[in-house]
Amino acid sequence: MLSRKKTLALMGAAAFAFASGTASAADNTVEVIHWWTSGGEAAALNVLKKDLEGQGYAWKDGAVAGGGGDQARTVLKARVAAGNPPTTMQMLGLVIGDYAAEDLLGNLNDLAAKEGWEKVVPPALQSFMKPEGDWVAAPVNIHSTNWVWANKKIFDDVGAEIPTNWDEFVAVLDKIKAAGITPIAWGGQAWQEATVVDALVNSTGGADFYKKTLNEADQDALRSDTMKTVFDRLRKLKDYVDPNYPGRDWNLATAMVINGEAGMQMMGDWAKGEFLNAGKVPNEDFLCFRFPGTQGSVTFNTDAFAMFKVGDDSKEAQMALAKAIMDPGFQEAFNLVKGSIPARMDVPGDKFDACGQKAMADLKEAVGNDALMGSMAHGHGVPEGVKGAMYDVITNFFSSDMSSEEAVKNLADAVALAR
């Protein structure tokens, strides 16, 4: 994020641009900044685009490649700084609150009231959509990060069962390695490594430990022996990756599992979108299971479209977009392709595949267990500055020979500085 002071200064420029009309789009145009550029992501986005175009609106595509959205968020900052925000931007979790606090987002309260969003959107999501009490964003899905995606044939060939705890997991990885196959398709980018740490923290310390470390950034928990074990395990995983992992995009890692070049990938359920886009079927071609040791809990991230303050001439198109996103039929159609599940609880699950139905059941179970947590790796756990500090330590650890003791100290120190 920009510092509050700096952004406020820039807002003056934004207000001027609006007043002089330079920032307003044509009447019926929605400009959408997003990072959905992989095959599965683009297919899902197309459902929204077609919906809007079918209603007579023009779609101005602002795709910024880069999984997890870091690059897109950088572009957005520049656009806002130039006084030229888009109609809407794909946003994750706490970032919505950052822009709302700068008073840059529009108000969706009337539409939300008319359409009854309060009744159908789970409370855990609403707090991110209404960071200051007003609806400023429309949630399109619920993803979660504690998943493993496996090539079924490889599992069958080596005689592997779905592992349910760390030791079983390591045993499966050893079996695949012994068969001469890369066990883990690893994407060596900070956000992907943080996604694996989401799962490792949850698996190693449980839901309460996850909340303490990756939601509350509690210093004692961050400096604990359990956190050291998390880094020991992260180090262990490096035994199972191929040498070409640095910088690899997440969807290329998924492709390795799809093509049988690697046994599995630890990734959020947008990976399922890639399998589906390649014509693969759950339980026939691929397996989905919770990261061993995290059964009964869910670390979630929700993609939302935050609506920027726009001039009167663009409002109708913006509201049409928000309404389309929240439509139950759209939520079903979109999430069937994206790999996630709907952000509304009233969408039936019968059209969803085995992994989607499992995601829905797991979510309910996690709520019952008080084990539904916002994903650190995907902006729902800690503020952006703290998240960035965590990313840096995690990725430096994985690519170096830093000890787990050092990593724990570096992590806690970096977090303390960033808060």
The residue (of 79 and 378) whose beta carbon lies closer to ligand GAL is 378
The residue (of 73 and 358) whose beta carbon lies closer to ligand GAL is 73
Judging by DSSP bridges, how do beta strands 262-266 and 182-184 pair with one another? parallel
Report the sign of the C-alpha dihedral through residues 358, 326, 132, 77, in that order. positive
Amino acid 63 reads A
If one counts every other C-beta atom within 10 angstroms of the C-beta of residue 20, the result is: 10
Chain Cα centroid distance, residue 122: 17
Q: How far is the CB of 38 from ligand GAL (least distance, A)?
A: 7
Q: How far is the CB of 391 from ligand GAL (least distance, A)?
A: 13
What are the helix (H) ranges across 55-189? 70-81, 94-101, 109-115, 117-120, 123-129, 152-158, 166-178
Residues whose CB is less than 8 angstroms from the CB of residue 167 and which lie 6 or more positions away in sequence, other chains included: none
Report DSSP letters for 110-141, one per residue: HHHHHHTHHHHS-HHHHHHHSTTSS--EEE--
Instruction: Compute the half-sphere exposure of residue 204: CA atoms within 13 Å on the CB side of its CA.
Output: 21
The mark string for 368-397 relative to ligand GAL (x by CB under 6 A, - otherwise) is: ----------x-------------------
Among 204, 301, 314, 318, binds ligand GAL (CB under 6 A): 301
The residue (of 200 and 304) whose beta carbon lies closer to ligand GAL is 304
Place of tokens 């900044």: 33
Q: How far is the CB of 273 from ligand GAL (least distance, A)?
A: 8
Q: Applying CB under 6 A, what is the total number of residues that bind ligand GAL?
A: 13
Contact call for residues 297 and 162 (beta carbons, < 8 A): no
The residue (of 95 and 414) whose beta carbon lies closer to ligand GAL is 95
Q: How far is the CB of 72 from ligand GAL (least distance, A)?
A: 9
Among 36, 59, 135, 209, binds ligand GAL (CB under 6 A): 36
In the complex, residue closest to ligand GAL by CB: 67
Q: How far is the CB of 379 from ligand GAL (least distance, A)?
A: 7
Helix (H, G, I), strand (E, B) or coil at 59: strand
Per CB under 6 A, which of residues 204..263 are in contact with ligand GAL?
A: 250
Residues whose CB is less than 8 angstroms from the CB of residue 264 and which lie 6 or more positions away in sequence, other chains included: 148, 149, 150, 151, 176, 183, 184, 185, 257
Per CB under 6 A, which of residues 63..122 are in contact with ligand GAL?
A: 67-69, 92
Q: How far is the CB of 153 from ligand GAL (least distance, A)?
A: 25
Q: How far is the CB of 268 from ligand GAL (least distance, A)?
A: 6
Q: How far is the CB of 258 from ligand GAL (least distance, A)?
A: 16
Residues whose CB is less than 8 angstroms from the CB of residue 397 and which lie 6 or more positions away in sequence, other chains included: 231, 234, 235, 407, 410
**Binding status of residue 143 toward ligand GAL by CB under 6 A:** yes
Residues whose CB is less than 8 angstroms from the CB of residue 345 and which lie 6 or more positions away in sequence, other chains included: 120, 121, 122
Contact call for residues 304 and 94 (beta carbons, < 8 A): no
Per CB under 6 A, which of residues 153..212 are in contact with ligand GAL?
A: none
Per CB under 6 A, which of residues 310..369 are in contact with ligand GAL?
A: none
Q: How far is the CB of 36 from ligand GAL (least distance, A)?
A: 6
Among 31, 51, 303, 332, binds ligand GAL (CB under 6 A): 303
Stretch that binds ligand GAL, among 34-42, 53-61, 70-78, 225-233 (CB under 6 A): 34-42
Enter the DSSP assignment of 211: I
Structure tokens at 288: 């989905």
Interface residue list for ligand GAL (CB under 6 A):
35-36, 41, 67-69, 92, 143, 250, 270, 301, 303, 378
